[in-house]
Structure 1
Amino acid sequence: MEEVRIGVIGLGMGFSHVRTLAAGKIRGASLTAVCDVKASKQDMARAELPDTVKIWDDAEAMLSSGEIDAVIIATPHYDHPSEAIFAFEQGLHVLIEKPAGVHTKQVREMNKVVAGSGKVFSIMYNQRCNPLYQKLRELIASGELGEIRRTNWIVTHWYRSQSYYDSGGWRATWAGEGGGVLINQCPHQLDLWQWITGMMPVRMRAFCSFGKYRNIEVEDDVTAYVEYENGATGVFITTTGEAPGTNRFEVTGDRGKIVIEDDKITFWRLRVSETEFNREYTGGFGEPECWKCEIPVYGDNPQHSGIIQNFTDAILNGTPLIAPGEEGIKGLTLSNAMHLSSWTDDWVDIPMDEDLYYELLQERIKNSTYQKTVKETGPVDMSTTFG
């Protein structure tokens, strides 16, 4: 294969990917087809795209047409796993938007299918392309920070007004979206939290507030405490109801502390490890010598186009993936565990009880305002941009 023929399903968020491909910004790839069930989205595609791009209104028909080699899936959250599974069964390579799905049971099934497909599977975790986060991951993996003792991420810059939520009947509903700030705004941070540190928690206690600041049925304020196998602890705080917000990620280790904030990395580096200092120091009050270092970060941040280019390169040349699709289950496990801990008012061990989560989620879907709207008036348009 010299060129990958790519189709895109979902022309809300997906249209930005369509424009990237149509503009020839991805080496080795061509935009061959697009699909959306909504006529207005199809009309928009006809007006903007060349005649060489075929426009479909039936996703399964497009996927089974033999006219594409790969697909980007940018549809509502619940549809990602089922559409990816169908695509794999048609012999296609798949790039899905985040999140991987709404609950881990459906994502685990998707991962089982791809394991035997021999196809390239990626997820749109474009923040993994950010040199800031790549540098922090590199510092931790190299042992520069020593053994991790604590992680703290305050990510409260996701302000959303009531008018934002009112703009779509599916928004911030259990049936339409599958959650709130954790499933919509925070999948990138939840992924980065475990990807950067290389650690998943072994248990969690979370406190989610549902409709605390806005008239919505899902979580809009979250504080979660986690424990890791090595004894380290972590805290994750997020909300859509605070202004001004904060985005500060702090990782403390045996050899100091690293903070990412305001698009820069600061490393408070201990001259000797805390463990060594504590073992040898006999002076009573005192602490290790510490150097404040501004860590240089080089390179561009290609964001979404970086993931699409990497996906294409993996298909053509076997290039290692920046964001393997199978890893989407990790961040989703964290958000599911936060929900489950709040619903049961208890600790949740990880791996979590996926059957219990699914059962409790179904109860909320049954009573969801979106579910009731669909029964009364039919499906609500969900083709607008997610985020």
Structure 2
Amino acid sequence: MNKVRIGIIGLGFIGCRHAESIANGAITGAELTAVCDSNPDKEQWVKENLGENVRLFTDVDQFLASNIIDGVMIATPHPFHTELAIRAFKHGLHVLVEKPAGVYTKEVRLMNEAAAASGKVFSMMFNQRLNPLYIKLRDMIASGELGEIKRTTWIITNWFRAQSYYDQAGWRATWGGEGGGVLINQDPHQLDLWQWVIGMMPKRVRAFCHFGKHHNIEVEDDVTAYVEYENGATGTFVTSTGEAPGTNRLEINGDRGKVVMEDEKITFWRLSVPTSEFSLTFKGSGFQQPECQKIDVPIEGEINEYNWGGIIQNWVDAIAKGTELIAPGEEGIKSLMLSNAMLLSTWIDNWVNLPINEELFYEQLQAKIQNSKAVV
């Protein structure tokens, strides 16, 4: 196959970054042939930064039917991700979607069905799956080094935002404009990594979302969630845009010890004897615990928070060579399922089983959108 011809929908900050990267030859085996944005004023920017050979479209249908692209990257605001992806699949195009997959799982499920029917390569921009910290954590758990998981705790509160951030645009932090707050705007990567690293989704969720607790906004800016897993393990997820200094600490407790990721390093407290075995066999006073060794886990590779190019390269290689995807698009529904479940649990003030009742969530969300003050 010759170079994969790529088109990008959405020339905001991230769309422009991707466009420049591909146009400058950063992605092997790819060429940027077209971009699409509803703002015709982007024409001069395209000529100056992407070159004369990249065509600008202001109409999505013309862009998708242009026959000058093989794959589409969708970098629009997230409420438009699923609709545009479905339209691209119907035109026989490969698709890479920015996070999150969408606003609610009901629409994302339709996107996944369209992807499967098309037979095209579908990927999500979960670039943090390339972060060697999370790769190492995942390998440790998958290998059984930590034993059976007992508890997961992620405190991710280093998202502080001043009110001025939300005041920049009328759509920001509104139900009508974004469909949510910190969970859908700041946390999609962490919610994806939470289930990807440990290799399982919860069976049910109980969450307490606070709406406009720290800011004058409609949506959630402070969340504490508790989850239960099929194997009996439990977990907590705490996030906020109203705390400073914030914390990013992931702690995973297993039968063979505890691993903590914080400050771009991993520490493993390895037990000499699994807790389950020690508890049954130790005959002392009962206050004793297994001998423990503290280990600073070595990390291979550069810690790059913005490795967008790695996901784009993987997607292009999957199209051209059949390379296995790092972030299959169909998996985007998992992180969204978690955020939808947290919101729904708060709205109905009860536990929510997974998979969630998608119709109920959709009805609740639409009621919020109807009363939203969004200016789109």
* TM-score where L is the length of structure 2: 0.98
| Matching residue's letter, 1:233 | T
Conserved in 1, the CA contact under 8 Å of 2:74 and 2:81?
yes
Deviation at 1:272, TM superposition (A): 1.2
| Matching residue's letter, 1:294 | D
Residue 187 of structure 1: aligned partner: 188
Deviation at 1:300, TM superposition (A): 2.9
1:31 aligns with 2:35: no
Residue 3 of structure 1: aligned partner: 3
Residue 214 of structure 1: aligned partner: 215
Residue 103 of structure 1: aligned partner: 104
Aligned partner of 2:330 among 326, 333, 337: 326
Residue 290 of structure 2: aligned partner: 288
**Separation in structure 1 between the aligned mates of residue 276 and residue 364 of structure 2, nearest angstrom:** 44
Deviations 1:51-88 (A, max 9, x none): 01011111221111111000100011111111101111
Aligned partner of 1:297 among 296, 299, 315: 299
Conserved in 2, the CA contact under 8 Å of 1:46 and 1:55?
no
Secondary structure of 1:116's counterpart equals: helix
Residue 112 of structure 1: aligned partner: 113
Between 152-161 and 298-307, report the one with greater CA deviation.
298-307
Residue 385 of structure 1: aligned partner: none
Deviation at 1:201, TM superposition (A): 0.5
**Separation in structure 1 between the aligned mates of residue 43 and residue 110 of structure 2, nearest angstrom:** 31
Secondary structure of 2:182's counterpart equals: coil
Q: Matched residues, percent identical?
A: 63
Aligned partner of 2:310 among 306, 311, 315: 306
Residue 376 of structure 1: aligned partner: none
**Separation in structure 2 between the aligned mates of residue 193 and residue 227 of structure 1, nearest angstrom:** 13
Residue 63 of structure 2: aligned partner: 62
Deviation at 1:301, TM superposition (A): 4.5
Secondary structure of 1:39's counterpart equals: coil
Secondary structure of 2:183's counterpart equals: coil
Deviations 1:170-209 (A, max 9, x none): 1000011110000000000000000000110001100000
Alignment of 1:116-195 (within 5 A): 116-195=117-196
| Matching residue's letter, 1:161 | A
**Separation in structure 2 between the aligned mates of residue 364 and residue 217 of structure 1, nearest angstrom:** 9
Q: How many residues are treated as equivalent by the alignment?
A: 372
Conserved in 2, the CA contact under 8 Å of 1:35 and 1:42?
no
Secondary structure of 1:182's counterpart equals: helix
1:240 aligns with 2:244: no
Alignment of 1:255-274 (within 5 A): 255-274=256-275
Secondary structure of 2:289's counterpart equals: coil
Conserved in 1, the CA contact under 8 Å of 2:133 and 2:303?
no
* TM-score where L is the length of structure 1: 0.95
Aligned partner of 1:358 among 358, 362, 376: 362
**Separation in structure 2 between the aligned mates of residue 250 and residue 239 of structure 1, nearest angstrom:** 18
- Displacement over 6 Å in runs of 4+: none
**Separation in structure 2 between the aligned mates of residue 244 and residue 150 of structure 1, nearest angstrom:** 25
| Matching residue's letter, 1:213 | H
Residue 349 of structure 2: aligned partner: 345
| Matching residue's letter, 2:344 | L
**Separation in structure 2 between the aligned mates of residue 2 and residue 40 of structure 1, nearest angstrom:** 32
Deviations 1:150-177 (A, max 9, x none): 0000000001110000001110000111
Deviation at 1:41, TM superposition (A): 2.9
**Separation in structure 1 between the aligned mates of residue 8 and residue 113 of structure 2, nearest angstrom:** 23
